[in-house]
Homo-oligomer: A and B are copies of this chain.
Amino acid sequence: MFEEVRESIVNLRRAFEIVRLSDTSIKNKAINAIAKRLNENRTYLIEENAKDIRKARENGVRESLIDRLALNDKRIEEMLKSCEVVLSLKDPIGEVVDSFVREDGLKIYKVREPIGVIAIIYESRPNVTVETTLLALKSGNVILLKGGSDAINSNIALTNIIKEALREANLPESAVELVRSTDRSVVDYIINQRGLIDLVVPRGGKPLIDYVTMNSKVPVLETGAGICHIFVDESANVEKSIQVIDNAKTQRPGTCNAVETLLVHEHIAPKLLPELKKIFDEKGVEIRGCERTKNIINCKLATEEDWETEYLDLIISVKIVSSIDEAIKHISRYSTKHSESILTENYTNAMKFIASIDSSTVYINASTRFTDGGQFGMGAEIGISTQKFHARGPVGLKELTTTKFIVFGDYHTRK
């Protein structure tokens, strides 16, 4: 049934043997060629994308989702910017990350290597096609792209361009393969190819991620949801705290690192909440508060469901707590282990918070919005890992590598 996908995987494995040994200059040549062709083929890309948009409108897809699907000059400019960023990043392959020279002179080097065939299963945004291709190639991997069926024409056009660029750089064009089948069961086929596919990265909504993590026979790099928390300790500076909370909620509410739940110490709540409400009212942020919050400000009552919800919208849940321990307990229960922040002037509480909170990123006096490969100096990322295995936090070039021990001897034998 999935003969075409099977063939793609065979071709990818063959291509990997070349890509993994390719010098940085070759890989950069391919990235440059991708940029050039994206720029030159704007009309073609926008026309092919228009087919997807037309079909989506016919199917009655919401305009907000159609916006995610759309390719226009601005989006193409963003892709070119991604090319520029990935070009500028240091190639991680070959980096010696650890070494040990034995007393007998045997030299043991632990060196970064590509992982292999990476399958990415994602939903409608066609820019993901380009971004993940760039990161996979730069790190010496090859990639199987399973995009959303909504974006199939856009993705075919983009991979056509990418394949031309690979040819121009003398790399095998099958280093990047698109799954053309839009049959949903192709996902099952992909996640069963243990041994042929080295890693599966699901990107998209929670149902997709849960399905892949629970059913894959191939190792999964899970980029999870973010129910991020900020706890305002009683010693925090009220004015500065409000700026941080505002930033974490409103700077870009649709992202996984935006704050969703605010925990406020009871001693600072009467000062902080009325001031915060003023700003949130201005900006149209809906507050859903616990009973004690409602005693201080006028807002909707938060239900149990609110503590479990990633709004990705201009909504925030607020709970007043009597101690840092109560805040830590709430976070331990409801957090998706993405990013949490404490705002405080108290050293002991700050240290307690960062030790106790078991999330990918824990902040003292900063907005949760910083959890991002670009902001963390990694240049680019393919998502934020909320798992503990292999990579945790932003997943950039280094996280798309494994290591190998290379040992230099002089006919050494073990005693």
Contact = CB atoms under 8 A, between A and B. Distances in A.
A365 B104 CA distance: 13
Nearest to A218: B389
Given A116-B388, A387-B219, A405 B371 contact: yes
A355 B140 CA distance: 13
A59 interface: no
Interface of A: 20-21, 100, 102, 106, 108, 110, 113, 115-116, 194, 198-199, 213-214, 217, 219, 237, 240-241, 243-244, 246-248, 251, 343, 354-356, 358-367, 369-371, 375-377, 387-390, 392-393, 402-414
B214 A194 contact: yes
State the main secondary structure of chain A at its contact with B.
mixed
Identical copies of this chain, number: 2
Contacts of A108: 370, 376-377
A108 B390 CA distance: 19
Given A100-B377, A390-B389, A244 B413 contact: yes
B360 A405 contact: yes
Given A366-B410, A369-B414, 10 more contacts: A194-B214, A240-B411, A241-B411, A246-B413, A354-B406, A361-B406, A364-B407, A365-B411, A366-B408, A389-B402
Given A219-B389, A411-B343, A413-B243, A406 B365 contact: no
A350 to B, nearest CB: 9
A364 B408 CA distance: 5
B412 A361 contact: no
Contact of A364 (B198, B248, B409): B409
A361 B407 contact: yes
Given A213-B194, A402-B389, A404-B362, A370 B251 contact: no
B237 A411 contact: yes
